[in-house]
Structure 1
Amino acid sequence: MRMGEGVEWGLHCCLTLAWLGDEEPVPTRRLATWFDLPPAYLHKRLQTLVRAGILSSTPGARGGFRLARPPESISLMDVVAAIEGKDDVFRCTEIRQRAQGREASEREFRQPCGVATAMRRAELAWRRALAEQTVADLMAAAPPGAADRTRRHYGRMTG
């Protein structure tokens, strides 16, 4: 399975916004500078998170983004689903019913095949694991000083 880089960007931005708190919105330009990312592309990812209710957006010269919910109520799966979509990763196209499979009885195809069953089980485990972890968990697992370094750096950018 391969996710787009927008998931990584979204998660790091959520983590940064959580550390900065909600005193003032953080402009895309500042987040893009912090991570050395293209501002226009990052802005699209952030707007996706706004539509999903993960971030809130304030327009205008003093506008920007902040978390729309507390960090402990934003799961990693929330961010992944917002950026990548909610569709299943594995899509069974029933190739077993093509070519030589056409000779099998219809009864054989009433249940999902072993491949589809195994892939669905694995995907559910992956989704559960991401749903059980939150932005607050990322904050707690960060190296010592990461939050303070983020706040200090942001203060230098705005001051």
Structure 2
Amino acid sequence: MKRVQAILASLVTVFMTGSALTLPEAYAQTDDNNLPGQKNANRDISIEGWIRRAPRYPTLAAAYFTIVNKGHEPHLISGVTSPDCSDIEAFHSEQEVTSHTANLFSHFTIPGDMTMVFPEGGYHLICRNFPDTIKTGDTVPLTFKYLGGSSTTVSFKLRD
């Protein structure tokens, strides 16, 4: 019985060692800009939105928007930036903010054939260090970056 156990243990060790050596090569992802179905996310996705200053925090602005994915493939937002914001984070008006919720729009999936709304009172974006030189009626560019390398820049009008 011990001989059979030793043979089985040797076979399992050889199998596991061989698997461990081949797995990294089989699953290595070297180029996030060349992913099947992701290259043209900017063609599939349209975004409309607006922005306003936070009432009690003049250096913050909140952006509310709707995203439509007209394509059949899901697309992943990998970040949101703006030259008018030092940092952009996700925020929910009625929930505790954590590092996970603040980074929501750095790994957010928009399913295919889907419309998603980010309204007042729900999840939205917070723009930090919002300049006081931007006045009501001016527009603020927000760039939504997608996994696969494409992006969409949208002008958000500043409202009261």
What TM-score, normalized by structure 1, do the two folds share?
0.25
Q: Name whichever structure is richer in helix by fraction.
A: 1
What TM-score, normalized by structure 2, do the two folds share?
0.25
Q: Name whichever structure is richer in strand by fraction.
A: 2
The structure having more radius of gyration, on CA atoms, is 2
